[in-house]
Amino acid sequence: MISPRRPSGVSPTSNSMNAAQQIIGTAPFTESPVSSPTAAERNERLWEASPFSQILEDGANSAGQAGAEDPQAEDRVVPGKVRGEISLDVVRSLYGSAGGLGNLRRSNSSVIYTGRPPEFPPVKKLNPLNKKRILVSGGAGFVGSHLVDRLMLMGHDVIVVDNYFTGSKTNLMHWFGHPNFEVIRHDVVDPIMLEVDQIYHLACPASPVHYQSNPVKTLKTGFFGTYNMLGLAKRVKARFLLTSTSEVYGDPEEHPQKESYWGHVNCIGPRACYDEGKRVAEALTYSYARQDGVDVRVARIFNTFGPRMNWNDGRVVSNFIVQALKGDDITIYGDGSATRSFQYVHDLVDGLIALMESDYSDPVNLGNPEEYTIKQFADMIVQLVNEHRQRHGDVGKTSTVTYLPAVADDPQKRKPDTTRAKEVLGWAPQWSAVDGLRETVVYFHQIMQQS
């Protein structure tokens, strides 16, 4: 068994338990013996030769064992923090230098795609009754690609639709050609017809810089994108999960924010394209549920960070880490007293899957209630980056903070009340912001070394 931990996000009787409980690399299927190697024997030999077999068989201890010889061991933090019986090391291998990042090299004049590693990561062999066809809209993006990784490792058939506005094929390259995986270049503002059992609807730019760059398109994505995905869910009777946002609470007058809070949004401001787009997406979702009986789930996602964020994403985490790694000024908009609560992407993926597999239809906040002022957050990142650089013998310039004008309608405080997620999903974040940031610093450092 890879991990002794039972997924704590779901009850032992729920569907997700059946899915998540199944173990990667379990005993191969049996067939009648024949003189030439059987499929099972071939499978076993391939498995033993696989670079992943060692990782999986070492299980949660592998990071610790590697620590004695590995100079970068301190870059690895908190082994085992992924729910379900999936090794965190395998998940990491898909975006670290052994996986996703290992797929390309850059020089001044060219980019060389070296292809995915010689074998796909092993996916679980599911009983056909438990294997689902799952559509992930926006699956080439930051959060979407991590969700795709997890659903693939769990053994499902995954179809991604993405228009690559902010997503990237390189986030998914490690699955190209896998029989359980398909990707379609498609913009969800246009209808699409597919046969699926579940739809995770993520497609929408999420960084304020991106969603404000074409606000009409953001509103079209919020309305027509959700309308088309809900129409599909209705036609094929798929369960539908909307990724909504903490931005539906606007600049909140209630703190922390409970799901029962109706919000405080400026419907004519520069953020309205996203906030109101997501609010109408929620309204559509519950209208389809009431009128047509569509089986819906709504996650309200709070600030999330992790590997595969674009270095030029524009959000605070990537901006501050990249600035600190370069020794540039850390740009605080306003006086730094606004607060945010940051969750690591693996916690979010756990929560999304637990919600999809639950029988709960009302909105659920998914976020980490650890709250920081932006100034505290800047100091924390500078310190973590300095520690990281010292470990690598890199004595670069230490960044200092510079204050720039505040952005319009910037919410002044944000912190999720996660009581509902605990009660209905058994979900709570497992990663502290610091632990997640350590991994994210390593990731951005690797990206910068490649460019």
Ligand X SMILES: O=c1ccn([C@@H]2O[C@H](COP(=O)(O)OP(=O)(O)O[C@H]3OC[C@@H](O)[C@H](O)[C@H]3O)[C@@H](O)[C@H]2O)c(=O)[nH]1
Which positions are annotated as active-site residues?
A: 274
20 SS3 class: helix
Element (DSSP H or E) covering residue 365: strand 363-366
Taking the complex as a whole, how short is the minimal distance between the CB of residue 298 and ligand X, in angstroms? 13
User: Of 137 and 180, which CB lies nearer to ligand X in the complex structure?
Assistant: 137
Taking the complex as a whole, how short is the minimal distance between the CB of residue 273 and ligand X, in angstroms? 11
Taking the complex as a whole, how short is the minimal distance between the CB of residue 250 and ligand X, in angstroms? 11
User: Of 50 and 245, which CB lies nearer to ligand X in the complex structure?
Assistant: 245
Q: Contact 250/411 with Cβ under 8 angstroms?
A: yes
Q: Please list the residues that pair with 245 across neighbouring strands.
A: 301
CA dihedral 252, 257, 258, 261 (to 10 degrees): 0
User: Of 180 and 318, which CB lies nearer to ligand X in the complex structure?
Assistant: 318
User: Which single residue is written with the structure tokens 């390259």?
Assistant: 173
Sign of CA dihedral 358, 364, 368, 369: negative
State the CB neighbour count (10 A cutoff) for residue 383: 14
Q: Please list the residues that pair with 332 across neighbouring strands.
A: 403
User: Of 189 and 407, which CB lies nearer to ligand X in the complex structure?
Assistant: 407
CA dihedral 36, 38, 41, 43 (to 10 degrees): 120
User: Of 52 and 274, which CB lies nearer to ligand X in the complex structure?
Assistant: 274
User: Of 122 and 351, which CB lies nearer to ligand X in the complex structure?
Assistant: 351
Taking the complex as a whole, how short is the minimal distance between the CB of residue 247 and ligand X, in angstroms? 5
Cα(49)–Cα(364) distance, rounded to whole angstroms? 43
User: Of 183 and 437, which CB lies nearer to ligand X in the complex structure?
Assistant: 437
130 SS3 class: coil
Taking the complex as a whole, how short is the minimal distance between the CB of residue 334 and ligand X, in angstroms? 6
User: Of 76 and 201, which CB lies nearer to ligand X in the complex structure?
Assistant: 201
315 SS3 class: coil
Cα(199)–Cα(23) distance, rounded to whole angstroms? 24
Residues that bind ligand X (CB under 6 A): 206, 208, 245-247, 274, 301, 303, 315-316, 319, 331-333, 338, 340, 374, 407, 410
Strands 239-245 and 198-201: parallel
The vertex-138 CA angle with 330 and 374, nearest 5°, equals: 20
Taking the complex as a whole, how short is the minimal distance between the CB of residue 140 and ligand X, in angstroms? 17
Taking the complex as a whole, how short is the minimal distance between the CB of residue 303 and ligand X, in angstroms? 5
Query: For residue 356, what is the DSSP state?
Result: H
Q: How far is CA 451 from CA 105, 106, 445, 446, in A?
A: 8, 6, 10, 9
Taking the complex as a whole, how short is the minimal distance between the CB of residue 148 and ligand X, in angstroms? 19
Amino acid at 367: G
Cα(364)–Cα(354) distance, rounded to whole angstroms? 11
Taking the complex as a whole, how short is the minimal distance between the CB of residue 194 and ligand X, in angstroms? 26
Q: Contact 242/297 with Cβ under 8 angstroms?
A: yes
Cα(52)–Cα(98) distance, rounded to whole angstroms? 11
Encoded tokens for 348: 């979010």
Q: How far is CA 222 from CA 13, 157, 160, 274, 323, in A?
A: 35, 26, 18, 7, 31
Give 193's Cβ-side CA count (13 Å radius).
1
User: Of 279 and 340, which CB lies nearer to ligand X in the complex structure?
Assistant: 340
